[in-house]
Amino acid sequence: MTAADTPAIAVKDLSVVFGQGREAFQAVRGVSFQVREGETYGLVGESGSGKSTVLRAITGLAPVTGGRMEIFGQPLGHDRDAAFCRTVQMVFQDPYASLHPRRTIDATLSEPLIIHGIGDRQERAERVLKALADVGLGPEFRFRYPHQLSGGQRQRVAIARALMLEPKIVLLDEPTSALDVSIQAEVLNLLKRLKDEHGLTYVLVSHNLAVIAHMCERLAVMQHGRFVEEMTVEQLRAGTPREEYTRNLLDAARGYDREKAARFAAMEALEEE
Ligand SMILES: Nc1ncnc2c1ncn2[C@@H]1O[C@H](COP(=O)(O)OP(=O)(O)OP(=O)(O)O)[C@@H](O)[C@H]1O
Ligand SMILES: [Mg+2]
C-alpha cells in the first residue's frame, strides 16, 4: 500500500463498554470504517446510538474494549501522545461549555502552543491573530472573555483553538446544533473553507441529514452502537438507502421538514392577514 492509499482514519471492529459487571453497557459494537485523507465522513443516527462515543474512542476519551484504530497507518495504543494531539483535534457541540469562562480568547488560543512548546511570546501572538482572522474574527476579539461573544462567535473560537496545532484531522461533534439556525450555515461554510485551506479531513456527527448532505462525501448510519449502513452522499440525496432503518430516518427527516414548512406557511399566512 502506498502512502497515498493509507486512510487518514482506519477503525476496525471497535467496541466500547462503559461500566463493569451488571452495570456494563456496550455503547459501540464492532464498528469498522475508513476515512480517506481530505474526505468529510458523516455519522448520523438517533440520540444514544453511539456517535459521540466513536469520536471519543478515537481521541482516547472512551473505554475501548476491542478493535484496532489507525491514524495515517499508525496504530493507536492506550494513551494519546503529543504527536496524536498535533494530528487529531475535536470540536464539541456546546461552545458555552467548551470554553473556559475566565480565560480570555488569547489565553484559550495560546494554551495549546504553550503546552506543546511552540513559538515565543511574539510568535504565539501572531498565530493567535492569524487564527482569529482565519475564522472571521478581528483582533478586537483577542482579549475578550467567552461571555462577551455570541454563540456563533464562540464556536468560531472553539474551531480556531482546534486548528492552533495545525492538525490533519478534525472530529466535529454536532458543531452547529447548539447554534441559531441562521448562524448554522455560516459556521458550516466556514468549516468547508477551512477544510480546503488547511487540507483537513473531517468526521462530522450530526442529527441533521441536511447538514450531512451539505458537508459529507460518505456517511454511516448508527443504531444501538452498530453501523446499520454506510453510503455515499449521492445515495442519501437520491433517497436510496438499502436498510429500512435508514429509510425511516430519511422519512422522519422529510416529515419533519414538511411539518416545519407547513407551520411557517401557516404563520406567514397569519401575518399577512
Ligand atoms: N460515560 C458514560 N458512562 C456510561 N454510559 C455512557 C457514557 N457516555 C455515553 N454513554 C452511553 O452510551 C450510549 C451512546 O452515547 P453517545 O453519547 O455516543 O450517543 P450519541 O449518538 O452521541 O447521542 P446524541 O445524539 O444524543 O449525542 C448512550 O446510551 C449513553 O447513555
Ligand atoms: Mg452525541
pLDDT value at residue 264: 52
Residues near ion ligand 2 (Cβ under 5 Å): 52
Pocket test for ligand 1, best of 46, 52, 204 (most atoms within 8 A of CB): 52
Ligand 1 near 24 CB (within 6 A): no
Place of cell 471519543: 56
Q: Where are the alpha helices (DSSP H) in the chain?
A: 51-58, 82-87, 95-98, 105-115, 121-134, 151-163, 181-198, 209-215, 233-238, 244-272
Q: What is the pLDDT of residue 244?
A: 82
Atom 1 (ligand 1): residue with closest C-alpha?
18
Nearest-atom number in ligand 1 for the CA of 16 is 12
Q: Ligand 2 centroid to 47 CA: how many Å?
A: 7
**Mutate-to-test residue for ligand 1 from 49, 91, 93, 205, highest number of ligand atoms within 8 A of CB:** 49
Q: Are strands 25-35 and 9-18 parallel, antiparallel or unpaired?
A: antiparallel
Q: Which of 115, 126, 190 is nearest to 152 (CA)?
A: 190
Confidence (pLDDT) at 258? 57
Determine the pLDDT at residue 273: 55
Residues of the chain with confidence (pLDDT) below 50: none
Question: Which ligand number lies closest to the CA of residue 207?
Answer: 1
* CA 163/CA 170 separation, integer angstroms: 8
Tell me the pLDDT tens digit for each residue of 125-140. Answer: 999 999 999 999 999 9
Check if 27 has its Cβ closer than 6 Å to any atom of ligand 1.
yes
Q: Are 182 and 188 in contact (CB under 8 A)?
A: no
Pairing type for strands 218-223 and 201-205 reads unpaired
Q: How far apart are the first and last CA of the chain?
A: 67
d(CA 42, CA 209): 9
Distance, CA of 226 to CA of 50 (rounded, Å): 8
Categorise residue 121: left if φ over 0, alpha if ψ from -120 to 50, beta otherwise. Answer: alpha
Q: Give me the pLDDT at residue 257, please.
A: 58
- Residue 163 in contact with residue 86, Cβ under 8 Å? no
In this predicted structure, what is the pLDDT of residue 270? 59
pLDDT, tens only, 65-119: 999 999 999 999 888 999 999 999 999 888 778 899 999 999 999 999 999 999 9
Beta strands at 226-232 and 218-223: parallel, antiparallel or unpaired: antiparallel
Q: Residue 37 has what pLDDT?
A: 97
47 within ligand 1 shell (Cβ under 6 A): yes
162 and 170 Cβ atoms separated by less than 8 Å: yes
Residue nearest to atom 12 of ligand 1 (CA): 27
What the block records as the C-alpha cell of 153 is 462567535
Distance 26 CA to ligand 1 centre (A): 10
Q: How far is the CA of 265 from the centre of ligand 2 (A)?
A: 32
Atom 16 of ligand 1, nearest CA residue? 50
CA distance 2 to 12: 20
Res 263: pLDDT: 60
Task: Give one DSSP letter per residue of 136-178, joined into a string.
Answer: T--GGGTT--GGGS-HHHHHHHHHHHHHTT--SEEEEESTTTT
